[in-house]
Amino acid sequence: MPSLKGIQFILWVVFILTVIPRLYTNYFAFAALLCGVVIRAGRPQFNTAYLQSVMVDENFQLLGYTAVAAMVGAVNIIMYMPLAIHAIIICSQISCAESTPGLLGFISQIGFIKN
């Protein structure tokens, strides 16, 4: 589903911008992670092969972490930093997948982040 990559990119950028003022940050994170699950695994199906492919996806695993960060609330900004790091890496991968590198295209060229 390549059409969802642009939506996921926009959701992650808005998430990064709303981490500090805490304006619906959890909703943007959940939506971006769900887009990531659908992009990697495809349309939801009710079989074990689909569930096995989704269980090892980092977007699906971060959904639980996002729920914990949402329960903590707006008290601790450190809870959102793993999500922000994941958002930056995903945005750089999306921008590098295009024909011209985008704003965050240099991040995936760093040695320890290469796929």
Q: Look at residue 103 in the predicted model and tell me its pLDDT.
A: 57
**Average pLDDT for residues 9-19, to the nearest whole number?**
91
Could you list the residue range(s) of the whole structural domain that residue 72 is in? 3-113
What is the amino acid identity at position 82? P
pLDDT 10s digits, 30-76: 999 999 999 888 888 889 989 888 998 999 999 999 999 888 876 77
Indicate the number of domains in the chain: 1
Q: Look at residue 2 in the predicted model and tell me its pLDDT.
A: 58
Structure tokens that stand for 96 in this block: 């590098």
User: What phi and psi, each to the nearest 5 degrees, are found at residue 43?
Assistant: -65, 145
Contact 8, 35 (CB under 8 A): yes
- For residue 58, give the nearest of 78, 28, 37, 32 by alpha carbon: 37
Q: Compute CA distances 50 → 3, 37, 65, 84, whole Å.
A: 21, 11, 21, 27
Q: Is the pLDDT of residue 100 over 50?
A: no
